[in-house]
Amino acid sequence: MGATRTTSTAGPQADGDRRRVSDGAGVVVLGSCAIWSVISASVHGGRPEGVLLAVLAVAAGYAAGRICGALLPVAALCGAALAGLGLAIGTPYLVPGPEPGVPLGHAGAAAGLLVLCTGAACCAAWGTAVPALRLALRVLAAGVAVAAALLGSPAGAVLCVAVLLCSLAAGAMRSRGTGIAGLALAATLVTGTIWAVAEHALPDGLALSLQARLTAQRVELWQDALHLSGEDLLLGVGPGRFGELSPAAAAAPFPDGKPHSAPLQQLAEQGVVGLVLLGAAFAWVLHALWRTARPTPVALTAGAALTALAAVAAVGNALSFTPVSVGAGLLAGLATAQPLAEPSYDPR
């Protein structure tokens, strides 16, 4: 089933207005994330460099995606998928193991990177009108899921398959807004579940089952993050200070100073404002995909991949690795770019 391509009834001017609103919102949100990390660090003596690097990586990836997506909408997505897969396979220390390593490290980073590769391949499949190439790109997406399993990341393999299935289902979606709302709800449910596990707010049977899969050490890190957030609910304890203040992090066999949950790390280190800004960044990406002039299947596929990455980041430290942050921005930029040689599409 191919993606429906129609000329926007609102005209090029309306499409341009939508892009300007989304881009303006992105500048405000990312700028606020950077500024707030500096404010929080100045109060508690934290280290905002990691947050600033992550913001810069997302912004750079998004800008590169918008440029490359405008010039080579399908080829750029193919190249991104292949490059990410090659990086995941060829980079040392990417497979699961106790050693954090560089430049990617833990399995969470590998899972996040491979999920983005799957999304890029599926977006490229929807972007081409050549049936053989579309089939080849979907085979590539399935191959990425296999690669995730072979690299020892079963959760990554499951999420890659989920992105592929969501992409196939996106072709039958009549309302883009419904799909985007569903993705936002999924991300909210994952975040809520993480908080419930840390707060012991789940029934005993379900809590024990989840803890067995997540490991007791990870749950202890989440509990420390919630405890630290109570010291300064507004500002947090300062960016980069979780490792020095968390007993669970200090007692870990291979400490990395992370709570292994992006939402809880933001809450502990930058307070409620930092958590809200993290949610605003994700909401901005979904809004940009909702308003993009690209075909609906492309927008929803990219949204599914970025939501899967959000799930990985909610239970790990994938966003601490620059290639993952760059990849997230790159996929968002590619999926929202307006190809120069194609007419505007009805966003539905």
pLDDT-based confidence at 261, cuts 50/70/90? very high
Query: In the prediction, which pLDDT does 99 show?
Result: 43
As a whole number of angstroms, the distance between CA 121 and CA 135 comes to: 11
Q: Which amino acid is at 21?
A: V
Residue 3, pLDDT above cutoff 70? no
Structure tokens at 122: 């599926």
**pLDDT tens-digit map of 141-188:** 999 999 999 888 888 999 999 999 999 999 888 889 999 999 999 999
With 90 as the cut, is the pLDDT of residue 60 above it?
yes
pTM: 0.90
Contacts of 96 by beta carbon, 8 Å cutoff, 6+ apart: 106, 107, 110, 151, 152, 153
Which residue would you say has higher pLDDT here, 207 or 24? Answer: 24
Q: How confident is the model at residue 303 (pLDDT cuts 50, 70, 90)?
A: very high
Neighbours of 77 (CB within 10 A): 31
Give the three-state DSSP class for 22: helix
**Per-residue pLDDT at 205:** 84
Structure tokens at 146: 């296999």
CA distances from 290 to 295, 323, 343 (A): 10, 25, 18
Residue 211 is predicted with a pLDDT of: 81
pLDDT digits (tens, 9 = 90+) for 307-328: 999 999 999 888 888 999 999 9
**233 DSSP 8-state letter:** T
Q: What is the pLDDT of residue 15?
A: 61
Please provide the average confidence, as pLDDT, over all residues in the chain. 87
pLDDT of residue 348: 43
Spatial separation of the C-alpha atoms in residues 143 and 7, rounded to whole Å:
34
How far apart CA 175 and CA 269 sit, in angstroms, is: 38
Residue 302: per-residue pLDDT: 97
Q: Alpha-carbon torsion 252, 48, 58, 264, what sign?
A: positive
In the prediction, which pLDDT does 102 show? 38
Please, which pLDDT band fits residue 278 given cuts at 50, 70 and 90? very high
With both helix axes pointing from N to C terminus, report the angle between 73-90 and 131-150 in degrees, rounded to the nearest 10: 20
pLDDT of residue 17: 65
Least confident residue range of 149-153, 269-273, 294-298, 328-332: 149-153
Cα–chain-centroid distance for residue 312?
A: 8
